[in-house]
A and B are shown apart, each in its own frame.
Chain A
């Protein structure tokens, strides 16, 4: 089949990526600026034998996709800030019970109802720490429409591989912007399929595979008997109040991500090989930043851009390596300093870190970043 070249919206590309990954169940509650994802899933899923349900709210939405995933289906929901807040309790449940789900959060200006049609990037920390308790989670951040396709597809693969909730963190600019996109031939897309455990007899749902630390998951309805609970549990899934059981489980949950940071980490860069001045950012702020870095290069300044496509686990190695070269690292983001906290932690004083925050509900204009860099230089 020929490649499809078309003008595509970010939200549309997220949906296309999910469908390419094998999405068969979507439950959601529409919210600006994510609604197109629900609309398109309602249109497309029935055509491939999938199901779409509009739920009563976002709590119901995430609970429903957890159920679908337990039954063996690739499942997703999409929302924005207020809905993402409501989903937090169930994200913790999916983390502890190791249920693969994908949540797209198209960020808008908050807190609270905020400015519903305006972009922000202020859910960086909520995406990592929104639910209570230590917990594993993966957060991916597309930087253009094409990456909405690629990273949503990847989100499904990672959620299956590590049995974790994966959050695709976009924003109103990327969600609603349209650009020329070339989609891969569907025959060349090979989404990860969930590996089935051996025979149902003696199945232990939480007996970690000694190689990767990730147990094999049996879908409900296939003859495997297992208990799935948000209480701490032993390898059989039975609830346990024993300290050593909780300790072993939680450490394994965290390590299955921490031990695989290199596999999960993803970023793009321009000009970082010899840069004296670097910009570290993500999502739509990176589009403005790229324009600035290119302008600075033309003006003879050794500038570089590191654009993070994985936000969590935080790509520490890439940032640490950058700090060995760049005297100053600028962190533009549409919030008042969230990604910058991580950059500062990793850089640990080796470079100067300058925060550039914007909370007007608008994308950075390139000259705003340029002027901030010139003012701080």
Chain B
């Protein structure tokens, strides 16, 4: 079963890292995973997109074709990729005004706000988002996500990142929890 994720926002938000951790968590569970990206020439502030494909089988085409889950953290990303969204779900940051033209099923969640005001650091919004994606998709177990986060984050930030991940999983469960992928 192939599950596709598209994580979109602006450069510097750490979505690439969130994608890598998601893919590594899938591998820890013995699945196949491929992570790709596209980005502009800017180091910060340009548009940024990371994709993850998880499957129990061989993955031939590495990019998302019709993402099961689209994460959009900025209005630009929401408008650009929301319009392309077909059968899958959109998870958009609650700060982004919704566009009635975008018809795919959409859950607005306060990801940026949770990072800044619940966890206490804006920079961990990517890990909050990872928790949301993990929780909503159910593609990997929360304990595996925790392990994958700890494998990647800098020393001394473990507690902060685990707090962010759990806050994200909590957001997902309040929004309706695991969606069968």
Binding site for B on A (CB under 8 A): 5-7, 32, 116-118, 173, 176-180, 287-288, 290-291, 294, 362-363, 365-367
* Nearest CB on B from A194, distance (A): 37
**Known contacts A7-B23, A290-B60, A177 near B34 by CB under 8 Å:** yes
- Asked if residues A287 and B61 are in contact (CB atoms below 8 Å), the reply is yes
**Known contacts A7-B35, A116-B41, A117-B38, A180 near B63 by CB under 8 Å:** no
* Nearest CB on A from B2, distance (A): 10
Choice from A117, A176, A366 contacting B36 with Cβ under 8 Å: A176
- Asked if residues B36 and A173 are in contact (CB atoms below 8 Å), the reply is yes
* Nearest CB on A from B135, distance (A): 21
* Nearest CB on A from B16, distance (A): 10
* Nearest CB on A from B47, distance (A): 11
* Nearest CB on A from B5, distance (A): 13
Residues in A with CB closer than 8 Å to B41 are: 32, 116-117
* Nearest CB on B from A63, distance (A): 29
- Asked if residues B62 and A173 are in contact (CB atoms below 8 Å), the reply is yes
Residues in A with CB closer than 8 Å to B63 are: 363, 365
Choice from A116, A176, A365, A366 contacting B37 with Cβ under 8 Å: A176
Residues in A with CB closer than 8 Å to B32 are: 179-180
* Nearest CB on B from A146, distance (A): 12
**Known contacts A7-B23, A7-B27, A117-B40, A178 near B34 by CB under 8 Å:** yes
Residues in B with CB closer than 8 Å to A7 are: 20, 23-24, 27, 33, 35
* Nearest CB on A from B31, distance (A): 8
- Asked if residues B61 and A117 are in contact (CB atoms below 8 Å), the reply is no
Give a binary string over B43-67; 1 marks a CB under 8 Å from any A CB, 0 the rest: 0000000000000000111110100
Cα of A68 to Cα of B24 in the assembled complex, Å: 37
- Asked if residues B35 and A179 are in contact (CB atoms below 8 Å), the reply is yes
- Asked if residues A366 and B65 are in contact (CB atoms below 8 Å), the reply is yes
Cα of A288 to Cα of B39 in the assembled complex, Å: 20
* Nearest CB on B from A283, distance (A): 12
Residue of A nearest to B52 (CB): A178
Residue of B nearest to A294 (CB): B60
* Nearest CB on A from B86, distance (A): 12
- Asked if residues B35 and A177 are in contact (CB atoms below 8 Å), the reply is yes
- Asked if residues A178 and B23 are in contact (CB atoms below 8 Å), the reply is yes
**Known contacts A117-B41, A178-B20, A178-B23, A366 near B34 by CB under 8 Å:** no
Residues in B with CB closer than 8 Å to A6 are: 24, 27
* Nearest CB on B from A279, distance (A): 12
* Nearest CB on A from B174, distance (A): 30
Cα of A177 to Cα of B38 in the assembled complex, Å: 10
* Nearest CB on B from A173, distance (A): 7
Choice from A180, A288, A290, A362 contacting B27 with Cβ under 8 Å: A180
**Known contacts A116-B41, A287-B62, A180 near B36 by CB under 8 Å:** no
**Known contacts A5-B27, A180-B32, A366 near B62 by CB under 8 Å:** no
**Known contacts A7-B27, A116-B41, A365-B65, A177 near B60 by CB under 8 Å:** no
- Asked if residues A179 and B34 are in contact (CB atoms below 8 Å), the reply is yes
- Asked if residues B24 and A366 are in contact (CB atoms below 8 Å), the reply is no
Residues in A with CB closer than 8 Å to B34 are: 177-180
Cα of A249 to Cα of B166 in the assembled complex, Å: 69
Residues in B with CB closer than 8 Å to A5 are: 27
Cα of A7 to Cα of B59 in the assembled complex, Å: 14
**Known contacts A176-B37, A177-B35, A179-B35, A291 near B20 by CB under 8 Å:** no
Choice from B39, B59, B60 contacting A117 with Cβ under 8 Å: B39
Cα of A278 to Cα of B33 in the assembled complex, Å: 28
**Pairs across A and B, CB under 8 Å, 27 listed:** A6-B24, A6-B27, A7-B27, A7-B33, A117-B38, A117-B39, A117-B40, A117-B41, A118-B38, A173-B36, A177-B34, A177-B62, A178-B35, A179-B32, A179-B33, A179-B62, A180-B27, A180-B33, A287-B60, A287-B61, A287-B62, A291-B61, A294-B60, A362-B38, A363-B62, A365-B63, A365-B65
